[in-house]
Amino acid sequence: MLCFAGLPNYKGDTLRMVSRSYYDAPINEFLNADHDGIMGRLATKHTFDVDPKQKSAWAEQVKHLKEHLVGFNGHVFFEFAIPRMGKRVDVVVSIAGVIFVIEYKTGQADHSRYSAEQVFDYALDLKNFHEGSHNRPIVPIVVSMGGKQLAPIWEWSADQMAQPLSSNGDNLSDLIREGLAQQLFAPQELDHQAWANSGYRPTPTIIEAARALYEGHSVEDITRHDAGAENLSSTSDCIFDIISHSRRAGRKSICFVTGVPGAGKTLAGLNISTHRYENEEEHAVFLSGNGPLVIVLREALARDEVARAKAAGEKKSKKAAATPIGEFIQNIHHFRDEYLHTTNAPPEHVVVFDEAQRAWNRASAEKFMIGRGEKSFPMSEPEFLISVMDRRQDWATIVCLIGGGQEINTGEAGLIEWFNALQSRFPNWDVYHSGQLVNPHYSWGEDLASKLSKVNAVERPALHLSVSIRSFRAEKVSDFVGAVIDGDAQKAKELYNAIPNYRLAITRDLNKARQWLRNRARGSERTGLVASSGALRLRPEGIFVKAKIDPAAWFLNHRHDVRSSYYLEEAATEFDIQGLELDWAGVCWDADVRKIETGWIFHDFSGTRWKNVNDRFRRAYRANAYRVLLTRARQGMVIYVPLGDPNDPTRLPEFYDGTYSFLRECGLGEV
C-alpha cells in the first residue's frame, strides 16, 4: 500500500477520536461480515475520495484475511493510525495478547529491505509510544503477495519485539500460529478496544515534527500528553495568547522562551510558524542562524511533498515543492540581508528566532558585514532584527527561543544584547519572559534582573520548558549531561542510576563504538558519530572534523548511502547537529577538553601543538560544544575516548586517561 495515498491531514482532536482505525471488529464478526459492508465502512472513514488503486488494495486485504484468520479468536483493525509518523498501518491483529502488525505490499513480489524496515518502524512506534503495547509481544509482518515463500526466522529482543517476518500470503496463518506458540511469553487476554484507545505518547524527532506540522497536525497530536510534557502545550498556548493580545491591543511584544536541551523549543517555534491566523495574509516565519537545521528541515519537507505528489499520480519537482516551504523556514542571515537596504516593513507580523542567544554582538556583526562590502553596521544583530519588526505600524510579536548553555561560537552575544537594544531603542515594546533569565545558564554573569526592571517586563512561567522530551527513554539525560559538564561525578552517577532505560556506555575502541551503535538500532532508527569542531587530533583515528558533511544527506539519506550518518564514517560537529538529533549517537571525545583533578581544562590545536584556552567565553563555548554533542541522542549513546599514543606528543595517553576515568566514575560501563 502507498505510504501517503489517502492519508488525512489531521487537525485538532482528530487523532484523539474514540477509534484509531477505519474499521475494527472481533475476528469472528469480521469473518461473517458482508464484503461490501466492510468496504463501505473503510471508504466512509477515509477523508478523501477513494481512488481505484486504494479500493483494490482494501478488497485484496479483506479477501486474504477472511481466508487466513479462520480459527482465531481476537480482533482486527484496518488502517490503524500511527500519528507520530503521520501514517497508518494496513492491518493490526490482536490475538491472546500478541499484537501482529501487518503491512501489505500489493503488486510487490519481492521481499525488500525497505518494506521490512517500514513495518518494523510501525511496530516500534507502538512499542515505544502506545501505552497498551509497552508490555505486549509485537510481531511485524510484510505480506508481498505472490512472492517466494521464505522460512521464518524467529528472533526476539528483550522488549518482546520480533524481527520482521516476510510472507508471500500463503503462509500468513502459519506465521500467526507460530507466533502464538512462542514460549517467550504466556498467552494473555486483552481488552481490544481498551488496548486500541490507550494513551499514545509520541516523541517525534524535529524532522518528523516539522513534517507532521506542515501537513496540518497540531502540536498536541504529535507529542506526549503526560504531566511532564504538558508544559509544551502550555507554552504554545501562552505564546498564542501573547500574539492574540498584541494583535487586539495593537502592541509590539517580544517573548523569551527558555528551556533545557531537548525540551521542545524548536518544536514550539515550528508550531507557531505553521499556524495560520485570522487573516490568511498574516503568517509567522521561523528564522534560524543554524544553517544545517534550515537545510535539513527544508529538504525533508520538499522530499515529502514530492513523494506525496508521486503517490497521487502527479509530478512535482523538488524546486517547486521547496518554494512555499522557504516562506516559513528561513535562514536568519538571509532575512537580515533582505531588509538591510530597504525601509520596508516585513509582511509577517510574527517572527520566531531560534537559538536567539546565539545572535551576534555588535563587534562580530559589524566585522562580518564590513567583510561583505558594507561600509558599516553600527548595531548588534538583536538590535537590527528588532528594528526590522518595529517598522510595522500596527502590531508585531517576536518569539525568541533561548537554549541555556547553547552558545558555541565566538561573537555570540547571549541575551544581554537583546535587553540592551530594548532598553535603549525600543522601550515601548512589551517583554514577556519565563522568570528563568537570571539563571547563570542564560545570564552569562550579566545582571539581567536589572535589565528586566528597566523594560515593560511581564513574567509568564509557562514560557519555560523544564522537561526534556527529546529522549523518550529518560527525561533526566540533560541533567546528567549538566553534571558531567560541571565536573560533578557523584551527582552524575546518581542521575545515571535514575535513567536505566537510557543506554550509556564508554569505550576506547572506535570500532567497538560503531558495533555498539549498529547492534542497538532497529528499523530506521538513526545512528551517527559526532565530535567537537575542536577535535582536530582525532584525525589519526579516522575522524576528520574539518571535512564538512552534507547535512541533508547525513540526516536524511538511507543507510546504504555512504554520505549518511548510518555509515558511521563522517562525524557531525556541534555546528552540524545543534537543534537536530539521532536515535543512537557515538560521541568522539578529543583532547580539546580534558579532565584533570581540579576540573576541566580546555585547549585549541594550532599548527603542531595544543594551546591553553584562557578566555572565559571561549572556554564556555568549548564546554557548550560538548553539552550539545552529549544531548543529541534520543535512546542512548556510546562515548569513545582514544587511548592516545605515547610516541605522538599531540596525542599523549595522559591527555585522554583523566577524561576516561572521570566518565567511568560517572557510572558509564565499558563496552
Per-residue confidence (pLDDT) for residue 335, from 0 to 100 = 86
Q: What is the DSSP string of 350-411?
A: EEEEETGGGSB-HHHHHHHHHHTT-S---S-HHHHHHHHHHT-SS-EEEEEEEETT---STT
Q: What is the pLDDT of residue 16?
A: 37
The pLDDT of 147-153, averaged and rounded, is 83
Reported confidence tier of residue 227, pLDDT bands at 50, 70, 90: very low
Q: Which residue has the higher pLDDT, 209 or 6?
A: 209
Range in 349-363, 430-444, 508-522 the model is least confident about: 430-444
Radius of gyration for the chain, computed over Cα atoms and rounded to the nearest angstrom: 27
Task: Give me the phi and psi of 633, to 5 degrees please.
Answer: -90, 130
Grid cell digits, residue 476: 533526566
pLDDT of residue 501: 87
pLDDT, tens only, 380-438: 889 999 999 999 999 999 999 987 655 555 555 567 888 889 998 999 999 999 888 87
Residues facing 287 on adjacent strands = 330, 353
315: alpha, beta or left, given left = phi > 0 and alpha = psi -120 to 50? Answer: beta
Which residues have C-beta within 8 Å of that of residue 135, sequence separation ≥ 6? 160
Our measurement of the distance from residue 286's CA atom to the centroid of its chain's CA atoms, rounded to an integer in Å, reads 16
The residue with greater pLDDT, 345 or 205, is 345
- Which helix H or strand E contains 521, and what residues bound it? none
Say yes or no: domain 236-290+328-465 is CATH 3.40.50: yes
Residue 6 has pLDDT above 50, yes or no: no
pLDDT confidence tier of residue 554, bands split at 50, 70 and 90:
very high
pLDDT for position 166: 92
Long-range contacts: 553-559, Cβ < 8 Å, 24+?
554/528, 555/207, 555/296, 555/300, 555/526, 555/580, 556/207, 556/296, 556/299, 556/300, 556/303, 559/524
* Mean pLDDT value across residues 292-316: 87
- Residue 159 reports pLDDT greater than 80: yes
Task: Name residue 613's amino acid.
Answer: V
Strands 527-531 and 571-572: parallel
pTM exceeds 0.85 for this model: no
Q: Which residues contact 366 (CB under 8 A, 6 or more apart)?
A: 376, 377, 378
Cβ distance 124 to 161 under 8 Å?
yes
- DSSP 8-state assignment for residue 488: -
Residue 506 has pLDDT above 70, yes or no: yes
Task: Give the start-to-end residue ranges of the domains of the chain.
Answer: 14-196, 236-290+328-465, 477-670
How much is the pLDDT for 431?
95
Question: How far apart, in whole angstroms, are the C-alpha atoms of residue 39 and residue 391?
Answer: 57
- Sequence-ordered list of residues with C-beta below 8 angstroms from that of 221, at least 6 positions apart, any chain: 10, 14, 15, 16, 83, 212
Percent of the chain's residues with pLDDT above 70? 87
- Percent pLDDT > 90 in the chain is 52
120 is written with which cell numbers?
518494523
